[in-house]
């Protein structure tokens, strides 16, 4: 266990007891610890591809993986310190001309931190981060950031997830709101019902919970309802895929990390733009199957099947498929030798999750992509 891991854990304070056992269980943050044998097998084979399209060799439609690359623009030149993402961004406006505001416009913002709401007969929660310079008179973009499968020893996963992604800082600099929703705990793990992975309760209404969170945020903040986005890693990335399938009329675009679509059926209301980040040496999510998943999104969104390379730096590249229905893009970013990690984020190589690239910043690149794709 390295001192870097200890420092990362220490930032969360009392919610993350600093012990070797807990440090090792950071793996659970990314859906490593406690995965059942059947779910681990699903992760290894990538969940299949070609739902409703027949795309993706060797996969059944029932497996429900989705995929795609994207249009020719949007990610060129964005990565790490050289990223062009967020150019022209103004704090409080989300970096682009605002769309329609919500009922929360004009009201003072709620405090950053944990907020609770009632849903489906129980109490749920989320972590809120309103950017510095937020103006309640101007509609502001919102990014939902979903944690991976997380053991309860780490405390609330929505808190721990910020250590991994570091998206709050990007929200501050670019001027968008970040919300980390909190999954439910079953069998000592905090998960999302994202299809084949990872909640043991396949009837849990996590999509309805997300609807409730968005509704609450629209009431309490000045949200740009044309610029609501989703991202997340592992089980949280799978949840982003599910929302792309089921809430394409609400979300403008999604950016799954180290994930693929595990929904048995996926019929989005429109061709939703999607940018994905996957490592070729991910120990949990097989890269080949992630690529198949991506290709299924290309087919589903009606994109040109021939991609063009729109970014390359060091070990990272992004490929984009143009000509998607409605002008949407599908982009597939690959990290050669990359692990089950967040590009540009925290480094957990020492606990077996693989390499974290510094040649590509998922935060910068997804934000540039989000800026280019408001809801029509």
Which pLDDT tens digit goes with each residue over 277-316? 999 999 999 999 999 999 999 999 999 999 999 999 999 9
Closest to 242 measured CA to CA, from 211, 207, 200: 207
Dihedral sign, CA of 95, 98, 101, 105?
A: positive
Q: Are 332 and 316 in contact (CB under 8 A)?
A: no
pLDDT tens per residue across span 15-69: 333 333 334 334 444 444 344 444 444 444 433 333 333 333 222 222 333 333 3
pLDDT at site 23:
40
Please identify which residue in the block is written with the tokens 């059942």. 36
**Global pTM value:** 0.80
Q: How many CB atoms lie within 10 A of CB 63?
A: 27
Sheet with 274-279, side-by-side order of all strands:
113-119, 122-129, 177-181, 140-146, 223-233, 253-257, 274-279, 330-335, 316-321, 307-313
Beta bridge partners of 277: 257, 333
pLDDT at site 92:
40
pLDDT at site 351:
85
Fold adopted by 3-371: Rossmann fold (3.40.50)
pLDDT tens per residue across span 325-338: 998 899 999 999 99
pLDDT at site 22:
35
Dihedral sign, CA of 332, 338, 339, 345?
A: negative
pLDDT at site 250:
98
Query: What is the bridge-based pairing of β-strands 223-233 and 253-257?
Result: parallel
Q: What is the DSSP string of 255-302?
A: EEES-----S----SS---EEEEEETT-SSS-HHHHHHHHHHHHHHTT
54-68, 71-85, 167-181, 287-301: least confident range:
54-68
Percent pLDDT > 70 in the chain is 74
φ/ψ bin of 363: left (φ > 0), alpha (ψ from -120 to 50), beta (otherwise): alpha
- Is 322 strand, coil or helix? coil
pLDDT at 8 over 70: no
Q: How many CB atoms lie within 10 A of CB 7?
A: 12
- At 304, list the tokens: 């040109």
DSSP label at 108?
A: P
Q: Are 307 and 354 in contact (CB under 8 A)?
A: no
- Is 131 strand, coil or helix? coil
Closest to 64 measured CA to CA, from 55, 72, 73: 55
Taking residues 160-174, report their average pLDDT: 97
- The whole-chain average pLDDT of the chain stands at 81
Query: Burial code of 192-204, b = ≥16 C-beta within 10 A, e = fewer?
Result: bbbbbbbbeeeeb
Domain positions in the chain: 3-371
Cα–Cα distance between 320 and 305 in angstroms, integer?
10
Beta bridge partners of 124: 117
pLDDT at site 97:
60
pLDDT at site 101:
85
pLDDT at 84 over 90: no
Taking each helix axis from N to C end, the angle separating 362-371 and 167-174, rounded to the nearest 10 degrees, works out to: 40
22-26, 82-86, 241-245: least confident range:
82-86
């Amino acid at each position: 266990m390295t001192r870097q891991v200890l420092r990362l854990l220490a930032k969360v304070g009392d919610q993350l007891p600093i012990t070797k056992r807990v440090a090792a269980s950071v793996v659970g943050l990314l859906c490593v610890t406690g995965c059942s044998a059947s779910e681990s097998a699903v992760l290894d084979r990538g969940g299949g591809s070609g739902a409703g399209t027949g795309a993706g060799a060797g996969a059944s439609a029932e497996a429900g993986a989705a995929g795609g690359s994207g249009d020719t623009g949007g990610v060129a030149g964005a990565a790490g310190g050289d990223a062009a993402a967020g150019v022209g961004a103004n704090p409080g406006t989300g970096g682009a001309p605002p769309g329609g505001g919500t009922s929360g416009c004009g009201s003072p913002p709620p405090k950053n931190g944990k907020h609770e709401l009632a849903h489906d007969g129980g109490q749920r929660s989320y972590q809120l981060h309103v950017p510095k310079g937020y103006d309640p008179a101007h509609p502001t973009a919102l990014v939902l950031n979903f944690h991976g499968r997380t053991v309860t020893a780490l405390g609330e996963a929505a808190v721990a997830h910020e250590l991994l992604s570091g998206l709050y800082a990007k929200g501050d600099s670019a001027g968008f709101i970040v919300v980390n929703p909190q999954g439910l705990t079953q069998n000592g793990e905090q998960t999302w019902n994202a299809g084949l992975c990872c909640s043991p309760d396949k009837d849990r209404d996590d999509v309805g919970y997300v609807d409730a969170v968005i509704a609450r945020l629209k009431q309490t903040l000045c949200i740009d309802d044309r610029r609501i986005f989703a991202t997340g890693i592992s089980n949280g990335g799978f949840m982003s895929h599910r929302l792309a399938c089921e809430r394409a009329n609400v979300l403008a675009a999604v950016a799954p990390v180290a994930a693929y679509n595990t929904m048995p059926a996926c019929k989005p209301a429109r061709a939703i733009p999607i940018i994905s980040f996957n490592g070729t040496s991910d120990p949990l999510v097989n890269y080949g199957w992630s690529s198949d998943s991506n290709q299924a999104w290309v087919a589903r969104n009606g994109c040109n099947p021939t991609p063009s390379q729109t970014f390359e730096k060091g070990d990272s590249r992004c490929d984009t498929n143009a000509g998607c229905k409605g002008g949407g893009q599908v982009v597939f970013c690959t990290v050669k030798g990359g692990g089950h990690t967040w590009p540009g984020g925290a480094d957990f190589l020492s606990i077996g999750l693989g390499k974290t690239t510094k040649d590509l910043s998922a935060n910068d690149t997804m934000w540039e992509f989000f800026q280019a794709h408001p809801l029509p």
